[in-house]
A and B are shown apart, each in its own frame.
Chain A
Amino acid sequence: EVQLVESGGGLVQPGGSLRVSCAASGFTFSSYWMSWVRQAPGKGLEWVANIKEDGTERYYVDSVRGRFTISRDNDKKSLFLEMNNLRAEDTAVYSCARVAMYFFDSDTFPEAFDIWGQGTMVTVSS
């Protein structure tokens, strides 16, 4: 069964740090771009970060760039999000998602988030 399971969420004070993880199973993890998407309580979905299959390319939403770092360990089939200098507005459920790609003109492009984890809650509060 294709599955993504997040862990590591919790309560952290403003300015603090936290690392959340995502364990993948049921598919060839090293063949896929992966992403983190968050959802603040009662709010919509917000894309946070992407990482290429081999980790050589990473992209971030402006609001977290310089504070968050996405990384992966393909041998352990795991995705990570290191979050530093956390703010109250970072409070959200953080979900990892697999990125399906499509081929066009001898290149590949991101298509959709085809598999999602259940998410892990991160609360930033004093």
Chain B
Amino acid sequence: SFDLTQPPSVSVSPGQTATITCSGEKLGDRYVCWYQQKPGQSPVEVIYQDNKRPSGIPERLSGSNSGNTATLTISGTQVMDEGDYYCQVWDGNTAVFGGGTKLTVL
């Protein structure tokens, strides 16, 4: 099965840029989605097709995907951005999630 690897945690100061990576073999050949999950809440889709934002997602969240690595970038990080972030791809008609990255803003 296809594996996705994320760093367990990322820390950033308010106003700075946070970068969360997701690695997998030839990941650039697949579309990557990203989800944000805050404590006690359901996940929310924040990026689809590598770099597209659903309606209502701020422009300071952006995505890219090339080679073996996809990246979620949060510019001007705010305290409200704290939470767990998961990357996800489709392997045929089955879904694969990365292990998740806890973003701390301090």
Contact = CB atoms under 8 A, between A and B. Distances in A.
Note whether A and B form a binding pair: yes
Contacts of A47: 88, 94-97
Contacts of B45: 112-114
A-side interface mostly: strand
A100 B99 contact: no
Given A44-B100, A100-B48, A113 B43 contact: yes
Contacts of A103: none
Interface in A43-98: 44-47, 50, 57, 59, 61-62, 95
Judged by DSSP, the binding face of B is: strand
Nearest to B31: A111
Interface residues of A, number: 24
B48 A112 contact: yes
Given A111-B49, A114-B54, A44 B42 contact: no
B95 A44 contact: no
Interface string A25-59: 00000000001010000001111001000000101
Contacts of A119: 42
Interface of B: 1, 31, 33, 35, 37, 42-45, 48-49, 54, 84, 86, 88, 90, 92-100
Interface of A: 35, 37, 44-47, 50, 57, 59, 61-62, 95, 100, 102, 109-114, 116-119
